[in-house]
């Protein structure tokens, strides 16, 4: 596996079997790295050009994060929304670099995130709906604070040339991101008439085998 450092974010790639292929961009979770979700790539159709990106904030002793998670005196935790939005801007720049650098379809950008990567996948796609085709959000939740101009969300989707569709999955006994948080996203999307699938599995914070193959079937549909 070769890691590329020539663009805004470190990344690894799995080329497609054709030119002008749809992109599948993978965003890992907090404290992980670009190799984590890349383990999915052998199982996913080679009609996709797969790129797994490393988050910009390095952690000690290893791993990376898209934004900091801070804890207060009572043990509560909160997200650094400023850092999250900086990562969103960096990802938008990175996607434009990918379009210019790799033989991918500029109109078929798909994104798959796990945990913190899923939270960013929601925020990016809801802020820029015309940019994305399919959005996979696994073991994450929708943080409305990260959405650009949330008051304009309804009109943005109504006026968008196209809308992304969503595959959402979560473990019913997830102790990292509560299941109750994950269940709010389908209600949010339903109010906007956004096409989505929500599936749950009797697991914790991870991706069960059934979860992966349900996602794979949904992702590869209409290829």
Residue-wise pLDDT for 82-135, tens only, equals 999 999 999 999 999 999 999 999 999 999 999 999 999 999 999 999 999 999
Got the DSSP string for 82-141?
HHHHHHHHHHHHHHHHHHHHSSEEEEEEEEEEETHHHHHHHHHHHHSGGG-SEEEEES--
Mean pLDDT, rounded, for 36-48: 97
More confident residue, 161 or 148: 148
The angle that helices 81-101 and 116-127 make with each other, rounded to 10 degrees, is: 70
pLDDT of residue 78: 78
CA distance 140 to 186: 12
The confidence score (pLDDT) of residue 179 equals: 96
Q: What is the model's pLDDT at position 73? A: 47
The CATH classification of domain 11-220, taken from the options 1.10.260.40, 3.40.190.10, 3.40.640.10, 3.40.50.1820: 3.40.50.1820
Regarding pTM above 0.75, the answer is yes
Going from N- to C-terminal start, the domains of the chain cover 11-220
Q: What is the pLDDT of residues 57-92, one digit of tens each?
A: 999 888 999 999 875 545 556 789 999 999 999 999
CB neighbourhood size of 37 (10 A): 25
């Amino acid at each position: 596996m070769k890691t590329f450092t020539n663009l805004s974010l470190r990344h690894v790639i799995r080329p497609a079997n054709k030119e002008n292929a749809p992109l599948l961009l993978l965003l890992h979770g907090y404290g992980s790295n670009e190799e984590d979700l890349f383990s999915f790539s052998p199982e996913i159709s080679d009609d996709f050009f797969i790129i797994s990106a490393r988050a910009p904030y390095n952690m000690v002793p290893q791993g990376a994060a898209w934004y900091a998670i801070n804890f207060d005196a009572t043990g509560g935790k909160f997200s650094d929304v400023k850092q999250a939005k900086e990562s969103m801007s960096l990802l938008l720049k990175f996607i434009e670099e990918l379009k210019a650098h790799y033989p991918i379809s500029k109109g078929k950008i798909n994104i798959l995130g796990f945990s913190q990567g899923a939270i960013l996948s929601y925020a990016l796609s809801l802020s820029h709906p015309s940019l994305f085709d399919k959005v996979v959000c696994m073991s994450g939740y929708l943080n409305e604070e990260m959405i650009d101009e949330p008051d304009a969300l309804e009109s943005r989707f109504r006026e968008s040339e196209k809308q992304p569709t969503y595959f959402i999955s979560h473990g019913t006994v997830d102790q990292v991101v509560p299941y109750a948080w994950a269940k709010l996203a389908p209600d949010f999307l339903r109010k906007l008439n956004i096409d989505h699938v929500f599936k749950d599995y009797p697991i914790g914070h991870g991706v069960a085998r059934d979860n992966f193959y349900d996602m794979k079937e949904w992702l590869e549909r209409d290829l």
